Amino acid sequence: MKNAYELEIKLDISSQWTKGSQEWLKADELRRDRKLQITVDKLEHLCIERIFELEKYNHGNTGYNLRELISKSLATRSNALKAAVEEYNKIACSFTPPREELSTHKVMELSKVADFQLLRESREEVLTQKWTVPAIREATIHALRVEQAQEEIMRVQVEVRCLETWMRDKVYHLTEALGRLKAQNSLLAHMLRPQLESQIQINSTVEKYIQHIKNHSEFRGEPSCGVRRSDADPLGFTSFLESDQTRMDLDEQQDNGQSDDDVKNEMERLLEGYDQIALASNI
C-alpha cells in the first residue's frame, strides 16, 4: 500500500479509482478484452492444430501406426478444445451486449482454415479488413476461380490443336518408317507395325474427346491441325494417311522363310541399333 500511495503522489493522482467509476470501468473493459483475446488465440491455435492433424490423418500415405497416434492426439485435443470453448463463452457473456457464443459441435466440424472465422473477434484492427466479411471473401474466391477458368479454356484450345497435330504426325512418321523398313525387307517392320496399329486405335479414341471439345459452344480455337516447324510439308500427307493403300499395307503379312535361329540373330542385331533407326525415322 505504501508503494501505491507513493506512486499516486508521483503521478499526481488526486482521487483513487473506485468500483463503478469511469476509469475503473475503462480499465475493466481493457482487462476483459485482453482476456478474450488470449482465450481466442488459444482456441484458434487448438482448432488449427486439429485441422492439420485431420488433414494428415486423411492423407493417403499415412501409415496405420501414425493414424493411431493421431487418433489419440485428436481425442486429447478435443477435451482441451471443449474447455477452451467453455472459457470463451464464459468471457463472452460478461460483455455488454454479450458476444455470440460458440458451439463445441460447430467448432469440431471445421475442416479447413478458411472456415474458421473466430479471428474477426480477436483483434480490433482485424475487424476493419474487408476479407473478414464472408460475402466479400466468397466473392473474391469466385472471381479468382472464374479468371483461372478463362485461362484454362484458352490453354485447352491451344493444347487440343497441339495434341491433334502430334497424333497426326505420329501416325505419319510411323507409317513412313514402316514403309521404308518393309522396302528393305527388315524384320524391324514386325516390331513397328503393332505400334502403329496401337497408335491408330488410341488416336481414334482421343479424337472423339477432341471433337466433343470442338463442338462446345465456347470453343474458339482453330478447328484444323497445326504445322510443326520441323516438317517441310506436314499437310501433304493427310490424304496419304486416309488412303486405302495405307490401310492395306497394315494388313499385309510378311514371310521371308528364315529359320527361328536366323530370326533371333537378326533381331538381336537390329535391336542394338533400334534407337538410331527410330531417331532417323522421326518416330
In 3-state terms, what secondary structure has residue 100? coil
- Per-residue pLDDT tens for 143-167? 999 998 888 888 888 888 888 998 8
- Per-residue pLDDT tens for 64-78? 888 888 888 888 878
The candidate with the shortest Cα–Cα distance to 282, out of 186, 179, 159, 209, is: 179
pLDDT score at 65: 83
- Burial letters for 197-216: b for 16+ Cβ neighbours within 10 Å, e otherwise? eebbeebeeeeeeeeeeeee
pLDDT score at 111: 58
Q: What is the pTM of this model?
A: 0.42
- Per-residue pLDDT tens for 239-258? 444 444 444 444 453 444 44
Phi and psi at 182, nearest 5°, equal -70, -35
In 3-state terms, what secondary structure has residue 133? coil
pLDDT score at 209: 87
What average pLDDT score do residues 214-222 get? 83
What average pLDDT score do residues 19-34 get? 82
